[in-house]
Structures are given as C-alpha cells and as structure tokens.
Amino acid sequence: MNKTIRRTSVFVLLLVCALLIRATWVQFYDGKALADDKDNRRNAIETYADPLGNIIVAGDSITGSARTTGGDLAYKRTYRHGPLYAAVTGYASQAYAPTQLEGIYQDLLNGTDSRLKTVMDTVTDQRAAPGNVVTTIDPDVQKAAYDALGDKKGGAVAIDPSTGRILAVVSTPSYDPTSLTDANTAGTAWKKLNADPDKPLTNRALRQPLPPGSTFKLVVAAAALEDGLYSSVDVSTDSPDPYTLPGTTRDLSNENPSAPCTNASIRTALEFSCNNVFAKMAFDLGQDKVRAMAEKFGFNDTKQDVPVRAYTSVYPSDMDKSSTALTGIGQYDVTATPLQMAMVSAAIADGGKLVSPHMVSQITDSGGDVLKNYDDDDAGTKRIISSSTAAQLQSAMQTVVDKGTGTNAQIPGVTVGGKTGTAQHGENNSQTPYAWFTSYAKAGGKQVAVAVVVEQSDAARSEVSGNGLAAPVAKAMMKAALN
C-alpha cells in the first residue's frame, strides 16, 4: 500500500475512534448534565406535557393546570386564591425556576420522583402520574392573617405548639403566582414585580429577618431564669433607670418615662417593656449565655427548613459591652423572622418544648397513598427551657396582654399571653420603626402561637407600635385558630 494512503487511513481511523469515544462520553457521562440543563427546551416540554400534581389545603387543591392554546407547552400552572397562598405555594413557571413548595417538591409534582414509579412505568420508561403535597395550613387562619394585614407591608406565621404544624404563612404585599406561569406573559409580570419597591416576591414571613425589638426580651428573660440570675419573674432585678450603656455615657431610655422600671421584676419589665431591665440583664448574663439560649430557640440555625428554607435569624458574636446590652432589647445586630419569633412563643406555650415547625403534612402519590408523613416525625422535638421557666413566662406574657402593652390582643374567654416590640429602623431611627407582636392563646384544649411584623403602614410614626399595628393581626389569627 502506498505510504501516503496508509498514513491517511490511520489518521482517518484515529478520527473515527475519537468520534466514537466522544459520542460515548456524551451519551453516558454528559447525558444527564445536558438533560438537566435549564436551557434544555425538552425538559420544559416534558414537564408541561401533562397536568401537574397539586398542593392541598384542608382537603382542597389550591393549584391546578390549564390547557394552553398554542406553542409546544401543553399545560400551564394555575392558582386558586393565588395572592392569599403565594407565600406558601410560590410559583411553577414555564419561564422561571419554581419557588417555595413548588420548587421543593418539583419532582413530585411533575411525576419524575422515583417514588412515584410503578413497575409498568419502569418497564415502559414512562413518566409516572404526579403526586400531591398536603399542607398543614389552616385556611381560616391564613385568611384571617391576610385580611388583617391588609395593605400593610409585613409578615405573619401561626404554629400549633404541640405538633409544630404551621397553620399560616402570610406575606404582604402579595402577588398572583398565575401571572408568572405562562411563558408568553411571564416576562412582563416579572419585570413589574421586581420593579415594585415593596418587593412583593419577598416572603416576609420566612425569608426577611429584621430586628425583633422588645419581643426578644422573652429570650433574655428565659436565659436569666434558666441561669439562676433571678429566681422568678416576680423578684426585683438590679436595674437602675436610666441605665447607662456600659463603656459609654449614653443613657438607655424607656418608651414610657413614668413606667415603674427601676429594679422592676421580669413580670413588670415585660408588662411595661422596660429597656433598662433587659439591657442590663443581657450584659450581666454575658453574650455567650444569651446566645446559647437564643440558639436553643432556633437563632443562628442555617438550615431551618419547614421544608422551605427560612433565612437565618441571628444573634451576633464578638460584641463589646454596650452592644451586648443592646441585644437585650432586640437591637444592634439581632435579627429574626416571624417564623423564629413564633417558635419562641410556641416553646413557651408548650411547657418549654419546641417541636420542629413544618408546613407539609404529607406527600402522596396520585392515588392518595402516603409516600411520607411529616406529622409522625417527632425527631426534632427538644426541650428548650424547663417547665417551671415556661410557666413563669406564660404568666408574665399574660400580664402583658391583660394590663400591659399588649391589650389589643385580648380575646374574651381565651387565655392570651404576648409581647410587643417596636424596633428601630434606619440610621438614628430615621425611618418608620418595625412593629412586632408575638403571642400564644389557649382555649378548649387548643393552643396556637403566632408572630407578626409590620414593616410599613399608613399610620403616623407616633402611632407605630406592636400593640397598635401587629397585635390586632395576631388576635385575628388566634381567634381563627381556636375557632
């Protein structure tokens, strides 16, 4: 054979081998990555070739699927009462990645979850019928929170303390997830929602930690009682008024100058929300002890999944003396979500035990057979504080509602305990403060814990308070839960 032809043949053979090797690599190694690529149109076509599974509230689907009129995507997601449940469902969009429960359970809802496959599905390599997500949400509590927040910017969470079931997750202003489901119209809605300065896509109940203000005093009080700094909520504390922040010449004032805050007991200090008492208490305990108690309640937990991952609520470290004192009143760099502050009240209400909160009860296959029951999972239950400390804090919180700063949360015939908070916002408190309220209620063998934050309302600055803005929302939620 001619030498040139032989070399050419070898070269061509090497090219063919290289092509076969590359094809094999793409098929068996890169195939999954290519199939899962977000820009792979076939994934969207397959996802929306059939109706999706549903998200269930109290036995009723709050989601659905509608046939499209054109294009290669046969179905699109629809929502019943979309703005009411947006903080729970999130959205499943033909154009954007799914969020909230739609994102967490994407594979279950589109039928690709391996647990859904029957033997026939495996043999035929067909996509299984989609499953459903059964939530713990109580529609009455959800609507009560949504209606009570109204046009205010804020968030609210309600929890059953004994089970950890989340009864409501509300964020306002809200949005209609249906506006984002159709690829042909989602872009316009997306731009409008993201341009809105009120950020309706932000889940303020779970994913926007803010300074909790005086609601954090419950955590400091729990630390003081558990540590033995004070033997009960009714003994006098060592708390001068005014209290000069350590290492500074700055006096910490109280909202009510005439309140009996000098050496006040924990009960009286919660009733009148005495800053001097809890700032000095935090300093006397030291940041390590306060942080340890905060972390028992869930602060600094970077994996707080319900199952949507909540943003971390923070108790800071490496502070100077004055900053440590300020954390005692929920300021400096302390932040919390409504979920976190509802967990604080839930643990106190349930005798010092904290049950891991969750807003999904079950996931099922298309026939209703349970794939996983989250209500039976008590592995996350832990004792946070002693039953004695919990009972004392319950009693002190009841005093706050009966005759203190939280009277707007009173419900006739119902035992209610709560704590107000007004957190500074902006440099030198130049912007409208955040109004907080966290509470629990018990009646007829039922109990509920809630937390509400109002970031902004049309109320005058002088009228912004936890009792004035947030407590009425909590009251509406508690009444709905107990009814």
- Any idea which residues carry the catalytic annotation? 214
Q: What is the CB neighbour count within 10 angstroms for residue 390?
A: 21
Work out the burial of residue 432: count CB atoms within 10 Å of its CB; fewer than 13 is exposed, 13-18 middle, 19 or more buried: middle
Answer yes or no: are the C-beta atoms of 433 and 462 closer than 8 Å: no
Amino acid at 466: G
In sequence order, what are the residues at sequence separation of 6 or more whose Cβ sits closer than 8 angstroms to the Cβ of residue 214? 273, 275, 278, 329, 330, 419, 420, 421, 422, 423, 436, 466
Q: Nearest-CA neighbor of 454 among 471, 434, 438, 426?
A: 434
What H or E segment, with its residue span, contains residue 169? strand 166-172
Q: Nearest-CA neighbor of 434 among 317, 338, 369?
A: 338
Q: What is the CB neighbour count within 10 angstroms for residue 268?
A: 21
Give the pair of three-digit tokens for residue 150: 């109204």
In sequence order, what are the residues at sequence separation of 6 or more whose Cβ sits closer than 8 angstroms to the Cβ of residue 52? 63, 65, 75, 77, 92, 109, 110, 130
